[in-house]
Chain A
């Protein structure tokens, strides 16, 4: 135990930089657009786009998928920006395979989430649009086919997540819709009826515009034929009415074994759909204490992330909000409700940031999930706030307290962009989590974690009776006197998809003494000790089926 503490202290005392920007060097050279950068005339120009870290070709390396929107005035024919898929070549570089893979689509893309919808072992993608969303089935040969349900319609889709809400072994889909947006009838800042923010003319919305309705799609695919049915109404998703829904994250917040859905909502109370185990949901965010701010105010919720930050075995929640407000850190009370711990935990320091993607990332592998947030304003020209803002890395001190270590973390963290999407994952399999960020009208940022501190083990879970992506499975590790837990999750952060694999920092410990997997539906599988320093594949009912040592 003494050794563990000493090593943990060593990690905390390490000097930076911890993260180094490697995006361009790695080959992520394209620019991802969302409206004009000097003047936002419409709210549709403000959300930016999402990113994903997924292993689409099952070579054990995380690939990058990045969504682009466009510009309202458009681009000359043939030069329209498209979504990009970058294949990880294994030497910390990527190659663009978008066209070959069939995903180089233009349009007003927004978010992305992933999951194996047909349980064929290859990760599929869902891309939300202002327009018609697109569902891609991964054929397993490096290409994708468009299997978008015909009834998907044209909306303004934002965050999305796959989950198996009814435990039938097939991944269903939840999609947030932001605004029922009508470009022609929305006032412009330079028009006769502009909107104002702090006495300056700005684009209008979301308040005053018609909110969207969240959708739930039930997977009814049979024999390889992809079919999703809209069950939003009968499942109770429509019941709370229209909302300005943004990010979607799934979590079993009351640990009843059934996945619940949290939607961060802009300018209204956020929502949690509690799974009633019968194919329906009940909205309970107010009762659960995760709808509003600590003082009962509606906030402009943007991004969300879930992890057990205090090590009690229950999932906690972090949410980013608009400028002049604090983020929320909701600590799980273990009784179906949460208490706001934002200020007490040290996240009450800044109100000048407008937060988007948020992720729990144990960057120093000490076993305590840290928090990373990306920021950026929605109004480029205003005098009262910075459009490009730095990122924030909060280190979890292990006693419910966080401290801002961004300056030590390096220039890559302190870099100012108007960032939106964020995905967390270890793209070079060195046992340290890295960060992928989408920046509005700029290249992606790829923050390579270089901090040589602590040990870790990474679990890749594969379902068989349950969904193949193992979304909803919970791994619990015993490390000394501590218990670490994590859930495989689709969606989350801000319109983005992080690595499905669960990476656990072990501090100075050489192994996790015991590993327990709870598969969706509740089946428990106990795995023995797992040494640090490797990616371990655990298949449902088959135990450990593969091990791969970390790269040096």
Chain B
């Protein structure tokens, strides 16, 4: 990501510059905090949203990355970086229909970009718009005749439509251009299967499996077809067995995700009925199914906090923070947990981070003030309560706390 190619509004530049520095130092956690602060200072700072998205994407948190990109696009709907990154995230999740409008804008914004045309073509192809797909792939190849995704994509499109004579040269060229990309060999092998050219298909597909396609079920399905065409029953069976194994793995994973979602729904029901223990039980089961879900961990932390199981709550909150370190709510909750456990130093540290990430939340400053009071830091407590009251002027409790701190 081209983080240094833009200008920053002067009053918010400090946070943004700090973020950049941390980013270049690879301290992504601190970078996130700084970029968040920059966004708080100037919500229209597209570059900060993009930087946040970049860091989340790097950490594999596609949901947060996408949220940041969509915010960037609200501010600048034709932002090429955001359009490209958001559409890629949608494509990675199989949400072609959501990627489509972004790519259509991207193609008009960057009419000479072969990758925009090729991506749009891929989405058209997935949606059954063969004509549109072919046109866009061909446009991409006009712009860059050696563009691998367009060669492979157009070759595949034509091969699937039975236009083998046109498809094969494109696919062969793609494999020559990127001999180490398994996708090219896979598509070429599949096309050769369709034509009944099994010896060459088998060679290409074996190559695809060695070059990174070893966990792709479809590679083995095609390989089985090639072995079948060659009359090699044992090899065909082995390839089909591998295909079944990989498919089962994919399905199991999807099933776990589905189960997790259903358990969360059940937990919500119990929560609404005030049955906290049952809700926690369902969420724990959901977590087993989907261990990397920060929101789920946060919910579990909150429930255990409500049930005064502070050690368990702390564990969940810390796990949520390790996945999504710039979410102020997680730090806030951890602060509350530590405060209730009487671990005041840790509580103060967490609440200070929360306050930095989200400087407009009165409850955070109020909680921080309460911790500071307990630690005997009266002056700092007054400042915290004062900020809480200013942010939430109607909150009686915050005002009472401020008065009590001023007149101990």
Contact = CB atoms under 8 A, between A and B. Distances in A.
A344 B165 CA distance: 12
Nearest to B156: A295
Interface stretch (B5-13, B214-222, B324-332, B393-401): B214-222
B194 A344 contact: yes
B162 A351 contact: no
B318 interface: no
Contact of A324 (B127, B160, B190): B127
9 contacts: A208-B258, A286-B240, A289-B225, A295-B190, A295-B218, A296-B218, A296-B243, A297-B218, A339-B228
Contacts of A198: 97
Interface string B108-136: 00000000000000000001101000000
Given A295-B221, A295-B222, 18 more contacts: A199-B97, A199-B98, A286-B243, A286-B244, A287-B240, A289-B225, A294-B194, A296-B243, A333-B228, A337-B228, A339-B225, A343-B161, A343-B162, A344-B162, A346-B162, A348-B161, A351-B130, A352-B128
Contacts of A289: 225, 228
B237 interface: yes
The list of the 7 closest CB pairs from A to B, nearest first, reads A296-B221, A351-B128, A343-B162, A324-B128, A296-B218, A199-B97, A198-B97
A506 interface: no
A462 interface: no
Interface in B204-219: 217-218
Main secondary structure of the interface of B (DSSP, over half): helix
Contacts of B240: 286-287
Nearest to A385: B128
Contacts of B128: 323-324, 351-352
B202 to A, nearest CB: 15
A343 B194 contact: yes
Contacts of B97: 198-199
A208 B97 CA distance: 21
A324 B229 CA distance: 28
Nearest to A197: B97
A289 B222 CA distance: 11
B98, B225, B244, most chain A CB atoms within 10 A: B225
A292 interface: yes
B250 to A, nearest CB: 11
A297 B251 CA distance: 12
Contacts of A352: 128
A56 B221 CA distance: 46
A296 B162 contact: no
Contacts of B225: 289, 339
A292 B247 CA distance: 12
Q: Which of B194, B218, B229 has the most CB of A within 10 A?
A: B194
Interface string A523-543: 000000000000000000000
B163 to A, nearest CB: 9
Nearest to B228: A337
A348 B160 contact: yes
Contacts of A208: 258
A294 B196 CA distance: 13
A348 B162 contact: yes
Contacts of A344: 162, 194
Contacts of B190: 295
A348 B128 CA distance: 12
A337 B236 CA distance: 12
Contacts of A348: 160-162
A340 to B, nearest CB: 8
Nearest to B254: A207
Contacts of A199: 97-98
Nearest to B95: A199
A297 B190 CA distance: 13
B161 A292 contact: no
A339 B225 CA distance: 8
Contacts of A297: 218
Interface string B223-234: 001001100000
Interface in A227-252: none
B302 to A, nearest CB: 23
Given A295-B190, A295-B221, A324-B127, A343 B160 contact: yes
A199 B161 CA distance: 27
A208 B254 CA distance: 11
Question: Could you say which of B98, B128, B229, B240 has the most chain A C-beta atoms within 10 Å of its C-beta?
Answer: B128
Interface string A308-329: 0000000000000001100000
Contacts of B229: 339
A351 B133 CA distance: 14
Contacts of B160: 343, 348
Contacts of A295: 190, 218, 221-222
Nearest to B265: A193
A295 B223 CA distance: 11
A348 B228 CA distance: 23
A296 B258 CA distance: 23
Interface in A271-294: 286-287, 289, 292, 294
A287 to B, nearest CB: 6
A289 B98 CA distance: 34
